[in-house]
A and B are shown apart, each in its own frame.
Chain A
Amino acid sequence: MNLLKKLTLGILALTISSALYAQKLTIFWAEWDPANQLQELAEMYTEETGVDVVVETTPWPDFQTKTFTEFAAKGSSFDMVVGDSQWVGAGVKGGHYVKLNDFFKEHKVAETMTAGTVAAYAEYPQGSKNYYAIPTEGDADGWAYRKDWFEDPKEMANFQKKYGYKLDVPETWAQLKDIAEFFHRPDEGRYGVTVYTGKGYDALTMGIENVIFAFGGSLGDYATYKVEGLVNSKETIAAVEYYKELYQFTPPDWGDTFFAEANQVFTQGKVAMSMNYFAFFPALTNKKVNPHVAGTGYFSNPKGPAGRFAALGGQGMSINSYISDSQKKLSYDFLAWFVKEENQRKWAEVGGFTCNKAVLESEAFLNATPFNAAFKETMFMVKDFWAIPEFADLLEPIQRNMHQYIVADQGTAKEGLDNVAREWKEILKKAGYTN
Chain B
Amino acid sequence: MAVGVHKEATNSQPGLARTGLSDLSIRNLFIIPTIAFLACMNIFPLIWSLFLSFHEWRANLPDEKAVYVGIQHYRDILNDPAFWQTFSLTAQYVLYAVVGELVVGFGVALLLNREMKAKGVITTLLLLPMMMSPAVVGLFWKLLWNPGWGIVNPIFGLANDYAWLSDANRALWAVVITDIWMWAPFVMLLSLAGLSAIPKHLYEAAEIDRASWWFTFRNITLPLVTPLLLIAIIFRTMENFKQFDMIFTMTGGGPGTSTEVHSIRLYRMAFQSWDTGKSSAFAYILLIMVIGISMIYIKYLNKIKER
In-complex A–B contact (CB below 8 Å): yes
Given A392-B274, A396-B273: A68 and B60 interface contact (C-beta under 8 Å): yes
Give A407 to B148 CA distance when docked, in angstroms: 18
Whether a CB of chain A sits under 8 angstroms from the CB of B285 is no
Given A253-B147, A253-B163, A255-B166: A72 and B60 interface contact (C-beta under 8 Å): yes
- For B148, B162, B256, the residue with the greatest tally of chain A CB atoms inside 10 Å of its CB is B256
Chain B residues with Cβ below 8 Å from A69 are 59, 271
Q: Which of B147, B160, B166, B268 has a CB less than 8 Å from the CB of A396? A: B268
Contact between A395 and B272, CB atoms less than 8 A apart: yes
Stretch at the interface among B17-25, B221-229, B246-254: B246-254
Contact between A408 and B258, CB atoms less than 8 A apart: yes
Chain A residues with Cβ below 8 Å from B61 are 90, 93-94, 389
Q: Which of B147, B251, B256, B269 has a CB less than 8 Å from the CB of A252? A: B147
Chain B residues with Cβ below 8 Å from A72 are 59-60, 62
A324 CB → nearest B CB, Å: 19
B64 CB → nearest A CB, Å: 8
Q: Mark A83-103, 1 if CB is under 8 A from B, else 0.
A: 000000010011100000000
Q: Which of B145, B251, B252, B257 has a CB less than 8 Å from the CB of A404? A: B257
Contact between A199 and B274, CB atoms less than 8 A apart: no
Contact between A409 and B60, CB atoms less than 8 A apart: no
Q: Which of B63, B254, B257, B272 has a CB less than 8 Å from the CB of A255? A: B254
Whether a CB of chain A sits under 8 angstroms from the CB of B146 is yes
Chain A residues with Cβ below 8 Å from B251 are 199, 256
Give A402 to B271 CA distance when docked, in angstroms: 20
Which chain A residue has the least Cβ–Cβ distance from B59?
A: A72
Using a Cβ–Cβ cut-off of 8 Å, how many residues does chain B contribute to the interface with A? 34
A 264-279 contacts with B by CB, 8 A: none
B188 CB → nearest A CB, Å: 31
A202 CB → nearest B CB, Å: 10
Chain B residues with Cβ below 8 Å from A407 are 166, 168, 254-256
A393 CB → nearest B CB, Å: 4
Whether a CB of chain A sits under 8 angstroms from the CB of B204 is no
| Count of chain A to chain B residue pairs whose CB atoms are closer than 8 Å in the complex | 103
Q: Which of B62, B167, B258, B272 has a CB less than 8 Å from the CB of A392? A: B272
B 135-173 contacts with A by CB, 8 A: 145-148, 160-168
Give A67 to B88 CA distance when docked, in angstroms: 34
Which chain B residue has the least Cβ–Cβ distance from A407?
A: B255
Give A72 to B63 CA distance when docked, in angstroms: 9
Whether a CB of chain B sits under 8 angstroms from the CB of A295 is no
B141 CB → nearest A CB, Å: 13
Q: Which of B164, B252, B256 has a CB less than 8 Å from the CB of A198? A: B252
Whether a CB of chain A sits under 8 angstroms from the CB of B245 is no
Interface of B (DSSP majority class): loop
Give A392 to B269 CA distance when docked, in angstroms: 10
Whether a CB of chain B sits under 8 angstroms from the CB of A2 is no
A415 CB → nearest B CB, Å: 12
Give A169 to B146 CA distance when docked, in angstroms: 31
Which chain A residue has the least Cβ–Cβ distance from B166?
A: A255
Contact between A408 and B256, CB atoms less than 8 A apart: yes
B 261-295 contacts with A by CB, 8 A: 268-269, 271-275
Contact between B272 and A408, CB atoms less than 8 A apart: no
Contact between B165 and A256, CB atoms less than 8 A apart: yes
Contact between A251 and B274, CB atoms less than 8 A apart: no
Give A109 to B268 CA distance when docked, in angstroms: 36
Give A93 to B167 CA distance when docked, in angstroms: 40
B186 CB → nearest A CB, Å: 28
Give A220 to B273 CA distance when docked, in angstroms: 19
B281 CB → nearest A CB, Å: 14
Chain A residues with Cβ below 8 Å from B59 are 68-69, 72
Q: Which of A254, A392, A410 has a CB less than 8 Å from the CB of B256? A: A410
Contact between A392 and B273, CB atoms less than 8 A apart: yes
Contact between A403 and B60, CB atoms less than 8 A apart: no
Contact between A403 and B274, CB atoms less than 8 A apart: no
Contact between A405 and B62, CB atoms less than 8 A apart: no
Give A16 to B260 CA distance when docked, in angstroms: 48
Whether a CB of chain B sits under 8 angstroms from the CB of A65 is yes
Q: Which of B166, B168, B274, B275 has a CB less than 8 Å from the CB of A253? A: B166
Given A94-B60, A253-B163, A256-B166: A403 and B255 interface contact (C-beta under 8 Å): yes
Contact between A251 and B60, CB atoms less than 8 A apart: no
Chain B residues with Cβ below 8 Å from A409 are 168, 255
Chain A residues with Cβ below 8 Å from B271 are 65, 69
Q: Mark A338-373, 1 if CB is under 8 A from B, else 0.
A: 000000000000000000000000000000000000
B226 CB → nearest A CB, Å: 39
Give A169 to B272 CA distance when docked, in angstroms: 37
A294 CB → nearest B CB, Å: 25
Chain A residues with Cβ below 8 Å from B145 are 253
A410 CB → nearest B CB, Å: 6
- For B61, B145, B147, B271, the residue with the greatest tally of chain A CB atoms inside 10 Å of its CB is B61
Give A254 to B275 CA distance when docked, in angstroms: 30
Give A389 to B58 CA distance when docked, in angstroms: 10
Which chain A residue has the least Cβ–Cβ distance from B160?
A: A252
Chain B residues with Cβ below 8 Å from A186 are 160-161
B146 CB → nearest A CB, Å: 6
Chain B residues with Cβ below 8 Å from A68 are 59-60, 274
Whether a CB of chain B sits under 8 angstroms from the CB of A125 is no
Given A71-B62, A94-B61, A396-B272: A252 and B148 interface contact (C-beta under 8 Å): yes
Whether a CB of chain B sits under 8 angstroms from the CB of A64 is yes
B187 CB → nearest A CB, Å: 29
Give A400 to B163 CA distance when docked, in angstroms: 20
B277 CB → nearest A CB, Å: 11
- For A69, A254, A256, A409, the residue with the greatest tally of chain B CB atoms inside 10 Å of its CB is A256
B252 CB → nearest A CB, Å: 4
Give A252 to B167 CA distance when docked, in angstroms: 10
B36 CB → nearest A CB, Å: 16
Give A199 to B273 CA distance when docked, in angstroms: 14
> Which 6 A-B residue pairs are closest in the complex by CB-CB distance?
A255-B166, A408-B256, A404-B256, A408-B168, A408-B255, A407-B255
State the B residues within 8 Å of A (CB): 59-63, 145-148, 160-168, 251-258, 260, 268-269, 271-275
A-B contact pairs, 16 of them (CB 8 A): A65-B271, A72-B59, A72-B62, A93-B61, A94-B60, A199-B251, A199-B254, A252-B148, A252-B161, A256-B251, A389-B60, A393-B274, A396-B273, A400-B256, A407-B254, A407-B256
Since A253-B164, A404-B255, A404-B256 are in contact, a sample of 8 more A-B pairs with Cβ atoms closer than 8 Å, ordered by chain A residue number, is: A252-B147, A252-B160, A253-B146, A396-B268, A403-B256, A407-B168, A407-B254, A408-B257
